[in-house]
Amino acid sequence: MRTVFWENNRVKMIDQRLLPGEFVIAEFATVAEVARSIQEMYVRGAPAIGATGAYGMALAAQNSAANDRDNLLDDLRTAKTILDNARPTAVNLSWATTRMLDLAEQTVLPNVDDLRSTLLHEAEALADEDVEINRRMGFNGAAVIPTDANILHHCNTGALATVDFGTALGVIFACQEQGKPIHVWVDETRPRLQGARLTAWELMRAEVPMHLIADNAAGHLMRTGKVDVVIFGADRVAANGDVANKIGTYKLGVVAKENGIPVYCVAPTSTVDLNLADGDQIPIEERGAEEVYQVGDTRIAPEGVPVYNPAFDITPHRYLTGIVTEEGICYPPFTQSLRQAKTAAEARIQRQRQARGSQ
């Protein structure tokens, strides 16, 4: 099933905070609740957050008491601000809410209920596109994975991080569909343990050969020749190819380069932010101390310990072999290849929107 979806005028999603112990579908009836679901990480992963933002905008339209277009647009602009503030690093969120608001502002229909329906259809289309995009990325990336490869993977980038299939884990699932033998080293990914809790859960359900490792074991595995390729996702990619991803990604890129191991970021073009020249301009979210000083309900550090908890780091583009997108693999110079991929993707989306409108 999908990670996030619309049902009975509610935004519904898998509560990822509870996995792997419990599988619970949470539902949210207001824009404020949807924003909270993003902030508190019921849903996580840039593409899944983007889809949630789009559904949040559709929900804002459904809940609005406006009887005319101008007042409905005002309510949508307010909703966009609330949703965009939920998490600052993942650009997919503002990309999706901007897409929804732009459509609303550009569409003139006989009554506001028609506009409400149009926005819901657009949110559903965005979710459907995410699944298609992920499969395209997965098979693009599978082409650079050697047979019998040992793949080092960081954080969680599977179906749980998207609407379905996944980004970097989508590459692994594509290899499996092709019958290509692989093995995955799964970083636990402190402090929220998305690798241990979520990636291990997804790979075991799919029967992909894997071992869970402590984050600090990654360098040892690379130095001793037990890693053939490193792959991970992204929450934002700057115009020059610098990547913001889950904290700990940067050191993997550095150590991989030291050991001559190829490194691929797997991210949809919606994650590429051409407005930011480099990664130093990407805002880095800082999260609560409790994520570090305790695991689950168990405290592992002294009372009152000072904590610094950045959720992401920046991997400079010089450590990347390539960036896998739905439009193909981008190679250096990334300033050119990413812009070309972004342009191709936007043209494809426009064609699909026109095709839906003609039906």
Active site positions, annotated:
235
Q: Are 246 and 195 in contact (CB under 8 A)?
A: no
What one-character DSSP code corresponds to residue 87?
-
CB atoms near residue 240 (< 10 Å): 18
The Cα 75–Cα 96 span in angstroms is 16
What one-character DSSP code corresponds to residue 217?
G
Joined tokens for residue 275:
């407005």
Q: Are 218 and 232 in contact (CB under 8 A)?
A: no
**Alpha-carbon Rg of the chain, whole angstroms?**
20
Q: Strand 322-325 to strand 328-330: parallel, antiparallel, or no bridges (unpaired)?
A: antiparallel
DSSP secondary structure string for all residues of 126-145: HHHHHHHHHHHHHHHHHTTS
The values of phi and psi at residue 12, to 5°, are -115, 150
What is the chain's percent helix, strand, coil content, to nearest 5? Answer: 50, 15, 35
The Cα 313–Cα 130 span in angstroms is 25
